[in-house]
Amino acid sequence: SCEISNPLGKDTCEALFRVKTPPKCQREPDEQRVPLGETLKVKIPINGK
């Protein structure tokens, strides 16, 4: 699924992606700690086609 947001609000949608090359992270994510049962969202820049 996709989620877009800006200061005026947010929206979500479902989409089908055709992956032509394996994705590659541009950097490693920072270490995170989250309480048990909580949700963690991480934004990581990736490259791929």
Q: Which amino acid is at 18?
A: R
pLDDT digit string (tens) for 5-47?
888 999 988 878 787 888 788 888 888 888 998 888 888 787 8
For residue 40, give the nearest of 27, 26, 48, 30 by alpha carbon. Answer: 30
Which residue is associated with the tokens 């994705």?
Answer: 23
Residue 2 has pLDDT above 80, yes or no: no
pTM of the model: 0.36
Q: Is the pLDDT of residue 48 over 80?
A: no
The confidence band for 4, taking pLDDT boundaries of 50, 70 and 90, is confident
Given a cut of 80, is residue 49 above it in pLDDT?
A: no
